[in-house]
Structure 1
Amino acid sequence: MKKSTNVSVSVGFSGILAICLLIGGLLKTGEAGAQTFATGKNEFLLNGKPFVIRAAELHYPRIPKAYWEHRIQLCKAMGMNTICIYLFWNLHEQQEGVYDFTGQSDVAEFIKLVQKNGMYCIVRPGPYVCAEWDMGGLPWWLLRKKDIQVRTLSDSLFMQSSRRFISKAGSILAPLQIQNGGNIIMVQVENEYGVWGNDEKYMTAIRDNIRAAGFDKVQLFRCDWSSNFDRYNLPGVASTLNFGAGSDIEKQFQHFRQLNPEAPLMCSEYWTGWFDQWGRPHETRGVNTFIGSLKDMMDRRISFSLYMAHGGTSFGQWSGANAPPYAPTVSSYDYDAPIDESGHPTEKFYAIRELLKNYLNEGEALGEIPKEPIALIEVPAIKFTQAAPLFQNLPKAVASEAIQPMEMFGQGWGDILYRTQLPASAKAGKLQITEVHDWAAVYIDGKFTGKIDRRLHGNTVNIPALPKGAQLDILIATTGRVNYGRAIIDRKGITEKVVLQQEEKTTELRNWKVYNLPVEYPVKNKLKYSAAKVNGPAWYRAVFNLSKIGDTYLDMSHWGKGMVWVNGRSLGRFWRIGPTQTMFVPGTWLKKTGNEIIVLDVEGAKKLAIAGVTKPIYGINLDESLLHRKPGQQLDLSTATPAITGSLPAGGGWKDILLSQPVQGRYFCFEAMNAQNPTDPITSIAEMEVIGMDGKPVSALNWRVLYADSEDITGAGNTADKVFDMQESVIWQTAREGAKAGHPHALVIDMGTSVQVKGFRILPRGDKKETGVVKDYRFYVQEKPFKY
């Protein structure tokens, strides 16, 4: 039992002043001054008083550490009172059991900077986070287990490993909860689980793991979409919704209010823009559309978090990918956000600041706009005169009888080379590779023979006759692991096998030599450089000086495909197909003299020089059209019989259509006969699902759009494959102008295999617009391809 002790202390005025200053300092830094934050009736309560959260999403690994405070201060100046962050499991545990929460990964320091600047923090520890981040934040080493399952109780490795990570994160961050004198007001349980499943036992286990990690005082919450938040219950956890710019606020919360009439309302991800994907148009979202829905929320005292307030850059290997269809994300995470990639306010920033000054909580004030920490500069063209050919700078080979993905060789990211001998044959043939993850260049006796791009669904390369046999090299360049949906188990390299087909003969190739080329390979190894230029894949090196240090964008428009390192740091990936043709270089990573730049190009450069510019460059250079319709192609449905013809009701939300009897088929066609507005010539669809005999959606992982009579790719990527990408805020929309502007509009999809179809589901757009919302339709299913 503790003894009671009375101590008499005599201090002068100066001593009292010193004690007061000390206490004030402790309150500011979070070492004392516990507060409360909780949910109340229809509102959040901070120290018992109503509080509207105005949060800005920032990701500490996407911002150079030297710029953290500047970006935080910009968010406060925009009118925010809270910063929202993800924790990235695979960043902090890149090798199993080895944790790193230091330097650029020092998330505790980031949160303390948020508090230093008078703001609160929302933490989203996952374990899954999405975020267009490699594998959605899950660590690559999980993939070494051949039957791994994620986001489920049924896999002990996943559950034990994720619990250890959350426990480690909690030991560092739990002291920063607001109840402990810190500034963390809420912690999220998992992320958008309603898109994945409805397993309440799994979500309960993650909730309990978070509490056990020390987050037992703070308010917990979950986030989902208005279309799926009701798929499961999670007692003791607040619910929030995610949706995009221009959304109809009343519609988004309508069903939520019915089920949760006394809950505070919050849009935990209000998408300010969108992310860019390789080979697709640069994404933008207009200020007027964005600001209107934000005002609607403020008028209703609905809390929000801007996703993203500042996207920054997915440096190194961290950019992810979506699937289906496979669509890798570019390294720039500019997101068309209010604060651009280089940390400068945009038109959206000033519009938000002007709006939010009218909606501040009691005692709040807009922050001053901070000065930029460093200027953007131009850099004269850096000329490359040194090259290290890849085939002459290989590491020691690892023998493997059968093909295996890179994870089985202990490699997490980068490139990988597979080598074997082809059998002698006087006959030409085809090399079939299943599956290429993600881009392959094939060489025979050192001569380039062909390439395969996972995005384009190919898997074969023609092989000439080889009377004496030959050396086969398959170089695999990886892009991001899938961060969303069931395709998240995304091993890299060649994941199944390589087969040589010659007329009737089929031979599976074996006895491979495998060369691992991880991301840091050219930095950590002494490559043999010689005079450039090289015919084939190579690393190029140059040294440059600066008259002035500053941020810059490297113009990569003359290069092919690969990665860039500056002073040992990987800037990320470049690819000639665009839309991004530049790479952001933080000035804090540069110096006046002796800057080293290394470029790996696996496809070949047109010009061995790189200049630094002050603005990003966007442009598309595609091998084939974005459109799913060949010139002159016309769908012929004259001999096809609809499985069902009908009308869709007006209004939002999923529409379920059941056939009078099931139909077997591999291909389906959806034909929109008109729109809800009879004078509207456009068709738009957010999502489509085919219902199987079990009443569940048929997997769309192998779906492929074969035909779409019209697609709008002028303002955003409104291509037809958006109907099965599981992203409700991006849609298929037909072009406003073009050869076929009026109804009917048709879409044909190959499901990859024959299935029994019981019906289909369709989701109209969820924003305020009614353009293209379908009324009358015809739905066809058949075994044979449709006629054109």
Structure 2
Amino acid sequence: IFAQKLGEQIGDLTIEKGGPIIMVQVENEYGSYGEDKPYVSAIRDIIRDSGFDKVTLFQCDWSSNFTKNGLDDLVWTMNFGTGANIENEFKKLGELRPESPQMCSEFWSGWFDKWGGRHETRGSKEMVGGLKEMLDKGISFSLYMTHGGTSWGHWAGANSPGFSPDVTSYDYDAPINEAGQVTPKYMELREMLAGYSDKKLPSIPKEFPVINVPKIQFTEVAPLFENLPSPHASMDIQTMEALNQGWGSILYRTKTPAVPTQSVLTITDAHDFAQVFINGKLIGSIDRRNHEKTMLLPAMKEGDQLDILVEAMGRINFGRAIKDFKGITEKVELSYTMNTGSQVTVNLKNWQIYTLSDSYQVQKNMKYVPLKDQKVPGCYRATFNLKKTGDTFLNLETWGKGQVYVNGHAIGRFWKIGPQQTLYMPGCWLKKGENEIIVQDIVGPQETVVEGLSKPIIDKLNVDAPNTHRKEGQTLNLAGETPCKAGEFAPGNGWQEVRFDQPVTGRYVCIEALNSHNNREYACIAEWYMLNDKGQRISREPWTVAYADDEDISSGNKTADKIFDLQESTYWSTNKDVKFPHYIVLDLGAEQTLGGFQYLPRVEQGAPESIKGYTIYVKSQPFKF
């Protein structure tokens, strides 16, 4: 029905009818999810039946997987990013369809930012150079993104495998930022494109005015625990979706049994950020990003009140994990040791569940009281006056975690950990005279003040320690371990597959890099798959990195989990001049029968810093450190 309605509204704007629509896309990167040509064929037929039967139809995917779902009667286009070896990206297409037009349907100018990671950037020289190469070779392209944007309200998503929620800003290191301001990258791009135009390029449009807003002191607060809606009674845990809730937060409340000693609370699973309270006192938090499931609780009396406040963050955007339920997905257990020494595990029941909407109307209609020294989870409200309006960037550095609403508009999510500390505030949503601002903070602020800045802050991390996969003083010990495979990778771009001499069983895989083809103390891996005994890729959803000897977090987010993040343009990298050998230890989540692996070096021309000599170890028990 959606496609039919779309056809009714814009079907007469295709090129054969004199309109601007020259092509219509059937599917987007379906190869990252699965292989199903009948499904893609059905989508194609729906598009045609909706009024797009004469315009050119195309589908896009990565150069490594586009044949999985490629249909004979559709144009095939490739998606890749800054720095990619462009000739290699189109090599397979040229072999299969030598007369086919070539197009990069998404040329990535940057990448998503995630909470707790550094702001992603891609070099302007590399971006402009790639676009120039395509122009010189007659390759069409679409720049993704030319203009950065904003994921308003709760709409920022998340990446997988693992769980990496995106920040509000979709700046994407684009040539034009989310406020419509041109960047030095834009000026380099414009200069290059001018050389391909027989006319003088038009002037750059005037930017929207930007204003500073003096510090806004908040005067009212609506404490969350004093503004709870009517609960749902349930014997068992229920997800948000089971209670017809799509976004926001959810509070699970029950009474505890008598627990005479310290106990372990296990939440299976908290999607996505859980805070645990006993009798109203915060005990700690569980963060899905870090694969956390447990925490210690103090001794409790029978009938103590246990509250678990779970905030839903972004839903996963792509891959097989897109079925991303929110809240607590299965159960909550308490485990402890009795005075007799016996072990007890209790599956907690009899829940009162409160669905907490993040809509503006709900926040506005809460019961507000004068703000004194409260710094609790809840909604904080203030008004501020403006003599003139303009774009600004609201600074949330003193706040905890939540969302912001200005004059009824949901501006987006914030989280003190960064890297994003400001939220883009369009001037068109501000008013001369009085304006209202509500900050919903599920953690509680350090200081209840907001100001509007003339420049954004999107690259400031406030974390205790970088998110790496090596504990202080930890060193892998392979003494006595027997490798299941050793050899050398071929130089150059493209996937390489290695099969073990015989299947091996284990849960933990150690990748040892011995040296590089560049003869430098520097190693990188873009993607890595393990194969089962039939040569099929096993799921990477449960994978975690148990150890990495070195990770470059100074020049970007080049951590070891990049080798299974479902993106060929990102990669794990050691720091320069850290001596070989280098190690990554993967925890597959469960014991597997393995028949080999697949390795992808960096996709840039020449596969820089690709590994030469390697050794692979597989164990059922964790490696020693």
Question: TM-score scaled by structure 2?
Answer: 0.96
Q: 2:105 aligns with which of 252, 268, 273?
A: 268
Q: Which amino acid aligns with 2:374?
A: V
2:39 counterpart residue number: 202
Note the residue ranges of structure 2 that are not aligned, 5 or more in a row: 338-342
1:520 matched to 2:520? The reply is no
SS at match of 1:502: strand
Deviation at 1:398, TM superposition (A): 1.7
1:592 matched to 2:432? The reply is yes
Deviation at 1:521, TM superposition (A): 5.2
| Cα distance in 1, alignment partners of residues 8 and 270 from structure 2 | 40
1:307 matched to 2:307? The reply is no
1:645 matched to 2:479? The reply is no
Deviation at 1:720, TM superposition (A): 0.5
User: After superposition, where does 1:200-599 map in structure 2 within 5 Å?
Assistant: 200-360=37-197, 366-372=201-207, 374-503=208-337, 504-520=343-359, 523=362, 525-532=364-371, 533-599=373-439
Deviation at 1:784, TM superposition (A): 1.1
* Length, aligned pairs only: 618
Deviations 1:458-512 (A, max 9, x none): 1112222222321111111111000021111101111111112222222211221
1:772 counterpart residue number: 609
Deviation at 1:524, TM superposition (A): 5.9
Deviations 1:701-730 (A, max 9, x none): 111111111111112100000000011000
1:709 counterpart residue number: 549
| Cα distance in 2, alignment partners of residues 753 and 531 from structure 1 | 53
SS at match of 1:189: strand
CA pair 554-439 structure 1, distance change in 2 beyond 3 A: same
1:664 counterpart residue number: 505
Moved more, 768-777 or 448-457: 768-777
| Cα distance in 2, alignment partners of residues 315 and 662 from structure 1 | 49
2:449 counterpart residue number: 609
| Cα distance in 2, alignment partners of residues 328 and 268 from structure 1 | 25
CA pair 525-591 structure 1, distance change in 2 beyond 3 A: closer
1:167 matched to 2:167? The reply is no
| Cα distance in 1, alignment partners of residues 473 and 305 from structure 2 | 42
Check conservation: 2:280, 2:307, Cα contact below 8 A: yes
Deviations 1:43-75 (A, max 9, x none): xxxxxxxxxxxxxxxxxxxxxxxxxxxxxxxxx
| Cα distance in 1, alignment partners of residues 299 and 572 from structure 2 | 45
Check conservation: 1:553, 1:583, Cα contact below 8 A: yes
Deviation at 1:519, TM superposition (A): 1.9
Deviation at 1:630, TM superposition (A): 1.5
Which has a greater percent of strand? Answer: 2
User: After superposition, where does 1:98-137 map in structure 2 within 5 Å?
Assistant: none
Check conservation: 1:499, 1:508, Cα contact below 8 A: yes
User: After superposition, where does 1:5-44 map in structure 2 within 5 Å?
Assistant: none
Deviation at 1:576, TM superposition (A): 0.9
| Cα distance in 2, alignment partners of residues 567 and 716 from structure 1 | 36
Moved more, 689-698 or 269-278: 689-698
1:634 counterpart residue number: 475
Check conservation: 1:425, 1:469, Cα contact below 8 A: no
Check conservation: 2:375, 2:446, Cα contact below 8 A: no
SS at match of 1:190: strand
| Cα distance in 2, alignment partners of residues 317 and 467 from structure 1 | 38
CA pair 314-734 structure 1, distance change in 2 beyond 3 A: same
User: After superposition, where does 1:43-54 map in structure 2 within 5 Å?
Assistant: none
Q: Which amino acid aligns with 1:707?
A: Y
Runs of 4+ in 1 over 6 A off after TM superposition: none
| Cα distance in 2, alignment partners of residues 482 and 511 from structure 1 | 30
SS at match of 2:92: helix
Q: Which amino acid aligns with 1:714?
A: S
User: After superposition, where does 1:755-766 map in structure 2 within 5 Å?
Assistant: 755-766=592-603
SS at match of 1:231: coil
Deviation at 1:366, TM superposition (A): 3.4
1:742 counterpart residue number: 579
| Cα distance in 2, alignment partners of residues 235 and 404 from structure 1 | 45
Check conservation: 2:270, 2:327, Cα contact below 8 A: yes
| Cα distance in 2, alignment partners of residues 396 and 351 from structure 1 | 57
Q: Which amino acid aligns with 2:66?
A: F
Check conservation: 1:317, 1:572, Cα contact below 8 A: yes
Which has a greater percent of helix? Answer: 1
SS at match of 2:16: helix
| Cα distance in 1, alignment partners of residues 399 and 161 from structure 2 | 28
Check conservation: 2:77, 2:105, Cα contact below 8 A: yes
Deviation at 1:418, TM superposition (A): 1.2
| Cα distance in 1, alignment partners of residues 303 and 296 from structure 2 | 15
| Cα distance in 1, alignment partners of residues 451 and 375 from structure 2 | 23
Deviations 1:191-214 (A, max 9, x none): 111222221111101111111122
Check conservation: 2:513, 2:582, Cα contact below 8 A: yes
2:517 counterpart residue number: 676
Deviations 1:555-577 (A, max 9, x none): 11111111111111111110111
Deviation at 1:604, TM superposition (A): 2.0
| Cα distance in 2, alignment partners of residues 213 and 245 from structure 1 | 35
1:689 counterpart residue number: 529
| Cα distance in 1, alignment partners of residues 97 and 202 from structure 2 | 35
Deviation at 1:623, TM superposition (A): 4.3
SS at match of 2:152: coil
Give RMSD over aligned pairs.
1.5
1:115 counterpart residue number: none
2:340 counterpart residue number: none
CA pair 623-514 structure 1, distance change in 2 beyond 3 A: farther
Deviation at 1:624, TM superposition (A): 4.2
Check conservation: 1:284, 1:715, Cα contact below 8 A: no
Q: Which amino acid aligns with 2:350?
A: N
SS at match of 1:497: strand
Deviation at 1:411, TM superposition (A): 1.1
| Cα distance in 2, alignment partners of residues 395 and 623 from structure 1 | 35
| Cα distance in 2, alignment partners of residues 726 and 491 from structure 1 | 20
| Cα distance in 2, alignment partners of residues 172 and 650 from structure 1 | 52
| Cα distance in 1, alignment partners of residues 188 and 298 from structure 2 | 61
How much identity, in percent, do the aligned residues show?
Answer: 50
SS at match of 2:310: strand
CA pair 521-590 structure 1, distance change in 2 beyond 3 A: closer
Check conservation: 2:376, 2:445, Cα contact below 8 A: no
